[in-house]
Amino acid sequence: MSDFDVSGNDKELQEFLMIEKEKAQVNAQIHEFNEICWEKCIGKPSTKLDHATETCLSNCVDRFIDTSLLITQRFAQMLQKRGGGDL
Protein backbone atom coordinates (compact mmCIF):
# COMPACT_ATOMS: atom_id res chain seq x y z
CA MET A 1 0.00 0.00 0.00
CA SER A 2 1.70 3.24 -1.12
CA ASP A 3 1.78 6.25 1.19
CA PHE A 4 0.25 8.68 -1.28
CA ASP A 5 -2.36 6.86 -3.33
CA VAL A 6 -4.35 5.73 -0.29
CA SER A 7 -7.87 6.24 -1.57
CA GLY A 8 -7.08 4.69 -4.94
CA ASN A 9 -5.99 1.37 -3.45
CA ASP A 10 -8.07 1.28 -0.29
CA LYS A 11 -11.60 -0.06 -0.71
CA GLU A 12 -12.63 0.71 2.87
CA LEU A 13 -11.49 4.31 2.57
CA GLN A 14 -13.20 4.75 -0.80
CA GLU A 15 -16.48 3.47 0.59
CA PHE A 16 -16.14 5.61 3.70
CA LEU A 17 -15.51 8.74 1.62
CA MET A 18 -18.49 7.96 -0.60
CA ILE A 19 -20.77 7.56 2.41
CA GLU A 20 -19.52 10.75 4.05
CA LYS A 21 -20.10 12.60 0.77
CA GLU A 22 -23.68 11.32 0.62
CA LYS A 23 -24.24 12.32 4.24
CA ALA A 24 -22.98 15.82 3.48
CA GLN A 25 -25.32 16.03 0.48
CA VAL A 26 -28.28 15.01 2.65
CA ASN A 27 -27.32 17.70 5.17
CA ALA A 28 -27.13 20.31 2.40
CA GLN A 29 -30.57 19.27 1.17
CA ILE A 30 -32.05 19.57 4.65
CA HIS A 31 -30.58 23.08 4.99
CA GLU A 32 -32.18 24.02 1.68
CA PHE A 33 -35.59 22.67 2.71
CA ASN A 34 -35.35 24.39 6.08
CA GLU A 35 -34.53 27.71 4.44
CA ILE A 36 -37.46 27.53 2.00
CA CYS A 37 -40.03 26.05 4.36
CA TRP A 38 -39.18 28.40 7.24
CA GLU A 39 -40.20 31.31 5.01
CA LYS A 40 -43.44 29.60 4.07
CA CYS A 41 -44.53 28.30 7.44
CA ILE A 42 -43.07 30.28 10.34
CA GLY A 43 -44.70 33.51 11.48
CA LYS A 44 -43.59 35.05 14.77
CA PRO A 45 -41.32 32.70 16.76
CA SER A 46 -42.99 31.56 19.98
CA THR A 47 -42.36 29.05 22.77
CA LYS A 48 -42.97 26.03 20.57
CA LEU A 49 -44.02 24.98 17.08
CA ASP A 50 -47.80 24.60 17.04
CA HIS A 51 -49.48 21.72 15.21
CA ALA A 52 -50.44 23.76 12.14
CA THR A 53 -46.85 24.93 11.72
CA GLU A 54 -45.49 21.40 12.04
CA THR A 55 -47.95 20.17 9.42
CA CYS A 56 -46.97 23.02 7.13
CA LEU A 57 -43.25 22.22 7.44
CA SER A 58 -43.81 18.54 6.85
CA ASN A 59 -46.06 19.13 3.83
CA CYS A 60 -43.59 21.66 2.49
CA VAL A 61 -40.81 19.06 2.24
CA ASP A 62 -43.04 16.51 0.49
CA ARG A 63 -44.55 19.05 -1.91
CA PHE A 64 -41.12 20.42 -2.79
CA ILE A 65 -39.95 16.92 -3.67
CA ASP A 66 -43.17 16.31 -5.66
CA THR A 67 -42.55 19.56 -7.52
CA SER A 68 -39.01 18.55 -8.34
CA LEU A 69 -40.14 15.14 -9.61
CA LEU A 70 -42.94 16.68 -11.69
CA ILE A 71 -40.64 19.22 -13.28
CA THR A 72 -38.09 16.52 -14.10
CA GLN A 73 -40.79 14.40 -15.73
CA ARG A 74 -42.36 17.20 -17.75
CA PHE A 75 -39.00 18.55 -18.81
CA ALA A 76 -38.07 15.13 -20.20
CA GLN A 77 -41.36 15.13 -22.12
CA MET A 78 -40.66 18.63 -23.45
CA LEU A 79 -37.25 17.50 -24.67
CA GLN A 80 -38.78 14.48 -26.41
CA LYS A 81 -41.42 16.55 -28.18
CA ARG A 82 -38.97 19.14 -29.41
CA GLY A 83 -36.47 16.46 -30.43
CA GLY A 84 -33.94 17.94 -28.04
CA GLY A 85 -32.11 19.55 -30.95
CA ASP A 86 -32.56 23.20 -29.96
CA LEU A 87 -31.06 22.70 -26.53
Partner 1 sequence: MAMANVDKGELMEQVKQQVAVANAQELLTQMTQKCFKKCVNKPGTSLDSSEQKCISMCMDRFMDSWNLISRTYGQRLRREQSKF
Residues 68-87 contacting partner 1, CB under 8 A? none
8 binds partner 1 (CB under 8 A): no
Distance of alpha carbon 48 from alpha carbon 73, whole angstroms? 38
Q: Tell me how many residues contact partner 1 (CB under 8 A).
A: 37
Nearest in space to 40 (alpha carbons), one of 69, 71, 32, 48 = 32
Given the rule CB under 8 A, which of 39-47, 70-78, 79-87 is the region that contacts partner 1?
Answer: 39-47
CB of 66 to partner 1, least distance (A): 10
**Which residues, 6+ apart, have CB-to-CB distance to 44 below 8 Å?**
none
Residues 9-28 contacting partner 1, CB under 8 A? 10, 12-13, 16-17, 20, 23-24, 26-28
Distance of alpha carbon 47 from alpha carbon 40, whole angstroms? 19
Q: Quick one: 24 or 78, whose CB is closer to partner 1?
A: 24
DSSP tally for the chain: helices H, then strands E:
3, 0
